[in-house]
């Protein structure tokens, strides 16, 4: 008997995925296990009491990447399906409950059995596609920042394309051809998130990536200590703050620092 041949044309004995393709699949599952916690965190911010909470504009969508949710769900469904397939084929009890990263690790540990499935190549191809998509979303920041939806008027109606601006650029161009001023986009994003709640870490990152402002977590806690920012509940033990309050406190702190430096310079000049 010559045995089976993998889709890549390499022999794979009684399996349906050769060792090289299995190694690639192992690496893709490792990528998912490493990056899915970041996707989990992004999803929590969207559907919990984070960026997805509060009043929603009726005219424009909220300034987060709405593709996180479908990518997260599709990846988890993919992993759950193939774990179920392997468990069924081997007469095993499907592991669970687990989060998405644990599912990737569980499947990674079952590759010796998974490669025996007649459609193991589909497992490899789909896992590679999911790993690329998750990597692309997670790796966007900080080199690029999410600039909202285009919303330009086109022949097909309002453009719904998501925009990503390169750090340091003055404009961002949509695939529909519309060009947007970066500072105007930043102002709109700042308005859109005013009433949303986030942790000190989330707001600090938002300020750095979305608005190009350095507002450290220690500075935010300092605003709270001085009564400039109030705590609005908590999420998983972390205090939540209103984004607009932090942005205003940071603005006032910058103005005060500038005034202090100007006064100091004036004092030296008078001596």
In order, the DSSP letters of 156-177 are TEE---EEEEETT-SEEE-TTS
Cα 2 to the chain's mean position, in Å? 47
Q: Residues 183-212: what's their mean pLDDT?
A: 80
CATH of domain 193-271: 1.10.1660
Query: 42: pLDDT confidence band, cut at 50, 70 and 90?
Result: low
Which pLDDT score is estimated for 2? 63
Q: Residues 70-83: what's their mean pLDDT?
A: 89
- The predicted-structure confidence for 156-181, as pLDDT tens digits, reads as follows 889 988 888 877 788 999 989 999 99
Report which DSSP code applies to 11.
B
Q: Residues 2-19: what's their mean pLDDT?
A: 86
- The predicted-structure confidence for 216-242, as pLDDT tens digits, reads as follows 888 898 899 989 999 998 876 788 899
Residue 183 has pLDDT above 60, yes or no: yes
Domain layout of the chain by residue ranges? 19-138, 141-189, 193-271
Query: 126: pLDDT confidence band, cut at 50, 70 and 90?
Result: very high
CA distance 265 to 270: 9
Range with top average pLDDT, 76-85, 86-95, 186-195, 249-258: 76-85
pTM of the predicted model, to two decimals?
0.49
Class of residue 208 by CB neighbours under 10 A (exposed 0-12, middle 13-18, buried 19+): middle
Which pLDDT score is estimated for 41? 63
pLDDT averaged over every residue in the chain: 78
Integer Rg of the chain from CA: 25
């Amino acid at each position: 008997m010559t045995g089976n041949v993998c889709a890549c044309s390499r022999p794979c004995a009684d399996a349906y995925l050769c060792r090289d393709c299995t190694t690639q699949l192992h690496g893709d599952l490792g990528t998912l296990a490493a990056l899915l916690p970041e996707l989990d965190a992004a999803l929590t911010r969207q559907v919990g009491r984070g960026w997805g909470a509060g009043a929603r504009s009726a005219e424009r969508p909220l300034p987060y990447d709405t593709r996180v949710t479908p990518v997260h769900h599709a990846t988890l469904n993919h992993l759950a399906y193939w774990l179920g397939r392997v468990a069924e084929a081997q007469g095993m009890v499907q592991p669970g409950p687990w989060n998405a990263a644990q599912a990737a690790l569980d499947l990674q540990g079952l590759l010796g059995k998974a490669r025996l499935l007649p459609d193991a190549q589909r497992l490899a191809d789909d896992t590679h596609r999911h790993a690329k998509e998750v990597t692309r979303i997670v790796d966007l920041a900080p080199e690029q920042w999410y600039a909202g939806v285009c919303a330009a008027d086109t022949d097909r109606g309002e453009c719904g394309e998501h925009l990503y601006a390169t750090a340091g650029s003055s404009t961002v161009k949509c695939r529909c051809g519309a060009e947007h001023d970066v500072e105007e986009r930043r102002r709109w994003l700042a308005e859109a998130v005013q009433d949303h709640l986030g942790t000190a870490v989330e707001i600090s990152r938002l300020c750095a990536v979305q608005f190009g402002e350095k507002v450290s977590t220690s500075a935010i806690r300092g605003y709270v200590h001085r009564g400039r920012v109030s705590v609005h509940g908590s999420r998983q033990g972390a205090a939540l703050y209103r984004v607009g309050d932090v942005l205003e406190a940071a603005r006032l702190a910058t103005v005060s620092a500038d005034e202090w430096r100007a006064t100091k310079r004036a004092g030296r000049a008078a001596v």
